[in-house]
Every structure is written in C-alpha cells, then in structure tokens.
A and B are shown apart, each in its own frame.
Chain A
Amino acid sequence: MKVGLVGLGKMGMLHGAILNALDGADLTAVCEASDALREGFEAFVPGVRFYEDYRRMIAEVPVEAVFITTPTESHEEIGLAFVERGCHVFIEKPLALDSFSSRRLVEAASIASTTTMVGFMMRYVETFQRAKVLLDAGTIGRPISFKATVYTSQLFESGKGWRYSKKASGGGVLVMQGIHALDLLSWYFGLPESLNARTNAPYSGEIEDFAHVNMAWPGGLSGFLDCSWSVDNHRLMETEICVTGDCGTLTVSDDVLQIYLRKPHLGRPAGWTLESKPDLYSGVPIDIGGAHYTREVMAFVEAATANRPVDSDFASGYRVQCLVDAAYTSAKSAGGPVRVAEIAGDGIA
C-alpha cells in the first residue's frame, strides 16, 4: 500500500520510520513545511518524494493512505482533502481543534467509507490492552468507581510553540495528554453521561496546565481524571487507572497491571495477581519509542489494506473530543455539571 505522510515533527518522524520499515506499507511521499527539516531528510532518505505543500503532494502522488501528524489546527483541512480523495486516513490525536471540527471529519469519512484512525496509541500498550480484556470479562465484577491520572514533568514556565497556543492546539494538557485517558475510559466503559471539570493555568495562561474531571455513567459508575504536565518527579508521561468493582480492584499503568480480588471470582483466587509488561510482551518488526506505536501503525495498515474499520476510528476520536469540549464548558462555569449529550448532540453513541 502506497502511504503518504504530512508533518515531519516528532510524531511524523516516528510514524514515517515505522511505515518505511514495515513490509505491508510503502512510504512514497512526505510533506513538511519547514525547509530545514524537509531538506535534511530529503538528503538522506532514499526512495521517498518530499513536498513543501500537501496539495501538490495530493496532485502528484497517488497515495492510498496518509498519516497526518501536523499541529492540530490543520488536521481538519488536510484530513478532509485526503478523505475526499478516497484515501484511508490516520490523524494523530486529538482528531481536530474541537468537536465541531471533528464531526465534519467523521461525516466526510463516512461518505467516503474509507478506513480512519486517530492516534490513541495507549490502546496498543500491552497493559492497557490487557485491562480492556479483563474488564470486559468481568474480572473485578461490576465497575463502580475509578481514578485516573496522567502526569508528566514537562512545563514549569510559559511554553513556546504550537502546543501552547490555544489557536493551534485547541487547549492544554487535557486535550494534549489527558485525552489518552479519556479515550481509554470511553473504550473501557463507553461514554459518560455527564461530567464536571475544573482547570488551572499557572504557567500557560490561555490553556490549562492542570485539569480535574469528574465523570458519571448511566449504570452507576463514577470516577475522576486528574492530569497535569506541571507536576514533579514524572520524567516521562505516566498514565494510571485504578478501577474498583464489586468483587475487587484493577490497577493498570504503563508498566504493570495488578488485580486484587476480595473473594475468588470467575476462577481467579482471592488476593493479588500481577502481570507486568515482560509477561505481556510480543515482538514487533521495529520499535521506535515504544512497540505500541508499531502495533498501532500495523493495525491501521492491515485494516486499510482490507478496507475495514478499526476501533479507534474518527467517530471514537469525535466522541472523546466531545468529552474534552464538555470539560472546557464546565470549567468555564466554575465546575458546573454538563451533560455530554448536550455537546455531542444526537447519533454519537
């Protein structure tokens, strides 16, 4: 499958190198607006055509699929251009600046009926993947309550670049990093019915550095997400979700998954069981910054080749973006409750 890539930033490089190394994909064209980056890569990467403008790339190279890894503000425009050409499209998270913009992408993709994917790579981390299987199987009984945290020590003064500009990124730590946990929670439990949120922006001002989101589901599950890029002692982004059910507790992080059962349940003994990353590991052809990125790209390429959908498609990206919008709406009213359906409208579940 001939694949194009738009945007050679950190995530673009990572996806480009994986695509170029995979057997099922043929990285044919790369678009990057920065001369220094583009020319640097062009000088050394054989067999790939480089473009400054994605419109020229579309006109000159017939790619079947594209990876869009540009700053969020251009996702909608570039995504629509490729979807309308009938391409299979991967867009790095978040899908777009807000739920309205995301919805336009979902609608265009459903008309074109191509494979779409949003870069929710945490779904391909072994531990979080395993948690989905265990929760679906009812391992800890009926989920009642959870707490989720996403922390990194990244920003302790005002940041520079597109990630810290509301116009270019759509928001702060919630939409850039906390969104991974929102996606996992929606993947595990479906969409919450309502939420309320508070944010705090001591460093960034126009976008949040801290977000605290309370959520409630129709069946009685409730819990909260706490995320920040301005906390101490977290060298890399770390995500943890702890779910308490009526039979026990499941705690899952990037490294390890632990289950505690109050009494024997579904053939498992009472007490602790632990599964760590090496227990769950399976090899990938190439690993650049984590095997989960490779699994994600492979899942997209396989689905696109067979023209079938993936779980983390544009529609799921849109639903998560509705949660983000709901949280921002709530934060504006000092944490007042917001029904997710009011943001998302009809036909999203």
Chain B
Amino acid sequence: MPESVQKLILGHNQFFGISHLSSERAIARERQFSDVGNIVRLVRYAQERWDAGLMMSTHTRANGVAEAIRNDSRLAKDLRLHVLLPYMAKYVRLSNARGLVGMVSDILGQTTWAERFGLGLKAGMGVVKGDPLAKIRALIDIEMLPFKGLRLETVFLHNALTDLIAGFGMVDILVFFCDYVRDRYQATPGFCTLSFEIVVEKLTASGITDAAVMAPFNPVGYQMNPSRERCERAAGMVSNPIVAMSPLAAGHVSPGSAAQYLGGLQRIGSVVVGASSETHIDESFGGFQTAFEDR
C-alpha cells in the first residue's frame, strides 16, 4: 500500500504575494505577511488546532520562514513540511536576464554553493560541465538548503517542470526524481501538475505507483485538464496518493462546496489550501476534516 500524505496542508502562496486570481489581492497579502511573525503565528495555529502541515515553495522569503520554524522547538519537531521546488518565477526571471544555459552555469558556478557542499570551486565547476542528472541533483540540493533540519514529509516537483517533463515523455527523469528524493531526503516524492491525466498516464507507464500527485480538484473544473470528468476518472485508476490543490478555484468556490466535492472523491486523501487568518483556517479545514473522516 503506498504511503499516504498528511490530510490537511496549509498553502503558502498568500504569504509570498501570490494570488492566481487577483494581483491586487496578492499585493495586499504580501504587505500583511511581510512580517514573518504573522506567517508563523498562522502556521502554528493550523498545526495545533488542525494537525495541518505546511506547503512551502523555495521563494526567496522561504528562508526567513524556515528559520523562524527552526527557532521554534515545538514547531520544528511537530510541523510536517511539504516542499514545492523550484520557485519557478525566480528561474523565469533569471533565464530572461541571463539565458537558460547561462542561468544554470551561474547558479551552479557560485562559490558559495560549492563551499556549502564542501566541494570547493573546482568540483563545483565539474558539476556545471557534468552530465544532466548531476546538474539536476545539484539544483535540487540548492533548493533544499533552507529546509535543513526540519521535518520533511513530501518534496513536490513544480507543475511547470512536471508538465514539461511529462509533455516531452522524459519518464526516466520522473523515476530519477523519485529515487533521489527518497535516498537523499528520506521524503515522499511528489509531482505537482496542471495536466493530471497526462502525468498519471506517464507515472503509470514508468511504474511509479507510490509518488504523490498534487493537482487542482474543484467543483467548477478550474485548471482540471483536460476536463473535470476525465481528471476524476484518472484519479480512480491509480493508487498514488492524491493531494487536491486549488479546491476553492482561486476564491470562486465556497469552502463548504469544496469540502462536499472532495468528500465525494474517494481517491483523494489530502488537500492543500491557502488561508490568511485563523477564521479562514477554521472555515476551510473544518469542512475538509469532516469530508475526509472516512479516509
């Protein structure tokens, strides 16, 4: 039986000024959470009240949040982290400024990085010139640095990369990612995707039955590709743990309807949802907790 993923996970987007529906709302949230203390207060509440974990991207500001969690001995021990890597917007900007090859060389060629891994500059440059998998390994390690010493449960590959890899049919890389996350980080590997049906197909074809899959599931079918019906059907055909994201369809669906919808999908055992206040947390997690009672 594949391992399951924590039922309730607090999303991170609102902390870092990301809203997929409204840029203005995102900017307002970023102001609210520019103080790391406000983030940690909510994370602590979600963990204590609802036994919830935290999804974290490798946003530059994740360092501060990870540091604050590390400094809170109880949170450091009890809070289960689900990492989403890499922080794509950063790489898109970097590659716009530097070109793709230049960007990878820049990141891997940094002395600070080589030193942190005890490699010395020469070995660091070796990775830059080395085989593609060595580069991917090194890039994952760099992204994982902020989470050192914290309680890792899942490491998800960002949807832009999962979907790119699946689109090109590079199944060996999917397998490689799973193996590396298990070996190096003793965590459950996961794939975030906006192309659920195709990704599930590729995972099945590569014999990956126990990696988690995180994809949008909401009653209006927002970002459920190719369609809500086909995503629901695909979910029924695999044994991988499935984490529902965007349950509220960017604020378009009430927490009650979202919980009712997910409650009806037996194969979904976890949900990640953003919240920006204690009241929001209770509203969302209360419904999902009840919906998932049987699983």
Interface residues of A (CB under 8 A from B): 9-10, 13-14, 16-18, 20-21, 34, 36-37, 39-41, 43-47, 154-155, 159-164, 233-236, 238, 253-256, 276-279, 281, 283-289, 291
Q: Which residue of A lies closest to B95 (CB)?
A: A10
Q: A21 and B198 in contact (CB under 8 A), knowing A37-B100, A155-B97, A283-B226?
A: yes
Closest beta carbon of chain B to A165's beta carbon, Å: 11
Decide yes or no whether B73 CB sits under 8 A from chain A. no
Q: List 15 A-B contacts (CB under 8 A).
A: A9-B100, A10-B95, A17-B167, A36-B101, A43-B132, A47-B169, A234-B23, A254-B23, A255-B20, A278-B21, A281-B220, A283-B228, A285-B226, A291-B194, A291-B223
Decide yes or no whether B123 CB sits under 8 A from chain A. no
Q: Which residue of A lies closest to B162 (CB)?
A: A288
Q: Contact: B163 with A255, CB < 8 Å?
A: no
Q: Contact: B96 with A154, CB < 8 Å?
A: yes
Q: Contact: A281 with B198, CB < 8 Å?
A: no
A169-B160 Cα distance, complex, nearest whole Å: 26
A87-B131 Cα distance, complex, nearest whole Å: 35
Q: Contact: B225 with A286, CB < 8 Å?
A: yes
Q: Which residue of B lies closest to A39 (CB)?
A: B132
Closest beta carbon of chain B to A95's beta carbon, Å: 20
Closest beta carbon of chain B to A172's beta carbon, Å: 12
Q: Contact: B99 with A283, CB < 8 Å?
A: no
Q: Which residue of A lies closest to B160 (CB)?
A: A289
Decide yes or no whether B93 CB sits under 8 A from chain A. yes
Q: Contact: A285 with B168, CB < 8 Å?
A: no
Q: Contact: B99 with A278, CB < 8 Å?
A: no
Q: Which residue of B lies closest to A238 (CB)?
A: B23
Q: Which residues of B contact A281 (CB under 8 A)?
A: 220-223
Decide yes or no whether B107 CB sits under 8 A from chain A. no
A150-B18 Cα distance, complex, nearest whole Å: 18
Closest beta carbon of chain A to B220's beta carbon, Å: 6
A154-B96 Cα distance, complex, nearest whole Å: 8
Q: Which residues of B contact A17 (CB under 8 A)?
A: 163-168
Q: Which of A159, A163, A238, A276 contacts B21 (CB 8 A)?
A: A276
Binary A-proximity of B80-105 (CB < 8 A = 1, otherwise 0): 00000000010011011111111010
Q: Which residues of A contact B131 (CB under 8 A)?
A: 43
Q: Which of A161, A256, A285 contacts B97 (CB 8 A)?
A: A161
Q: A277 and B250 in contact (CB under 8 A), knowing A160-B97, A284-B225?
A: yes
Q: Contact: B164 with A14, CB < 8 Å?
A: yes
A10-B98 Cα distance, complex, nearest whole Å: 12
Q: Which residues of B contact A284 (CB under 8 A)?
A: 225-226
Q: Contact: A253 with B23, CB < 8 Å?
A: yes
List residues of B (1-48) whose CB comes within 8 Å of A's CBs.
Answer: 17-18, 20-23, 26-27, 30
A9-B100 Cα distance, complex, nearest whole Å: 6
Q: Contact: A288 with B164, CB < 8 Å?
A: yes
Closest beta carbon of chain A to B138's beta carbon, Å: 14
Q: Which residues of A contact B20 (CB under 8 A)?
A: 255, 277
Q: Which residues of A contact B26 (CB under 8 A)?
A: 235
Q: Which of A45, A154, A162, A235 contacts B170 (CB 8 A)?
A: A45
Q: Which residues of B contact A16 (CB under 8 A)?
A: 167-168
A235-B165 Cα distance, complex, nearest whole Å: 24
Q: Which residues of A contact B96 (CB under 8 A)?
A: 10, 154, 159, 161, 163
A255-B249 Cα distance, complex, nearest whole Å: 12
Which 3 residue pairs spanning A and B have beta carbons closest together? A17-B167, A287-B194, A40-B132
